[in-house]
Amino acid sequence: MPSKDPSFGRMMRRAAVVHCPWCGARRTFIRRWLGKYERCRTCGIRWRREEGFELSAVAINTTLTFLALAIGMTIGFVMTSPDIPVASMVLSLIGVAVFMPIVIYPLTYTMWLAFDLAVHRPEAAELAEAAAAVDAQAVARSTSR
């Protein structure tokens, strides 16, 4: 069951391992790697708490990818200077630019949700609605068997 009012640090630690920031469950809103359920399958909290939520997750993704590219380029320059292997460095950085956003995709959503939940704590009505949604899912599952 969801713990009451987790701290910002606790929510960020949960988000860093792609768990639900609010309840800490592994069974969260992430569906396969690149998809999402409407809400956490354990506590029922919606990941899209406001319009444009995705934009902030994309911003985190872009920032982390650019940071990785900058670090990779700096290490590449420092370690190979003055004979910089431009072609192999460009190819490896293209690999980082293509695959890193995919690898960190769910992490950016859980991290942004953790930040959003810390800044904008859910009210009792939102938590009640989340609990009701989880109960409705449980009833639907039990009647479909």
Contacting positions for Zn ion (CB under 5 A): 20, 22-23, 40, 42-43
Closest CB to Zn ion among 43 and 133?
Answer: 43
Closest CB to Zn ion among 44 and 76?
Answer: 44
Q: How far is the CB of 70 from Zn ion (least distance, A)?
A: 34
Rounded to an integer, what distance in angstroms lies between the CA atom of residue 126 and that of residue 50? 12
- Are β-strands 30-31 and 35-36 bridged in parallel, bridged antiparallel, or unpaired? antiparallel
Alpha-carbon separation of residue 118 from 6, 7, 113, 128 (angstroms): 9, 7, 8, 18
Q: Which of 14, 13, 60 is nearest to 40 (CA)?
A: 14
Q: How far is the CB of 110 from Zn ion (least distance, A)?
A: 10
Q: How far is the CB of 79 from Zn ion (least distance, A)?
A: 43
Q: How far is the CB of 128 from Zn ion (least distance, A)?
A: 15
| Phi then psi dihedrals of residue 30, to 5 deg | -75, 125
Closest CB to Zn ion among 7 and 74?
Answer: 7
Q: How far is the CB of 14 from Zn ion (least distance, A)?
A: 9
Closest CB to Zn ion among 100 and 134?
Answer: 134
Dmax (CA) for the chain in angstroms is: 69
Closest CB to Zn ion among 20 and 100?
Answer: 20
- Residue 116 near residue 53, CB atoms below 8 Å: yes
- Residue 36 near residue 47, CB atoms below 8 Å: yes
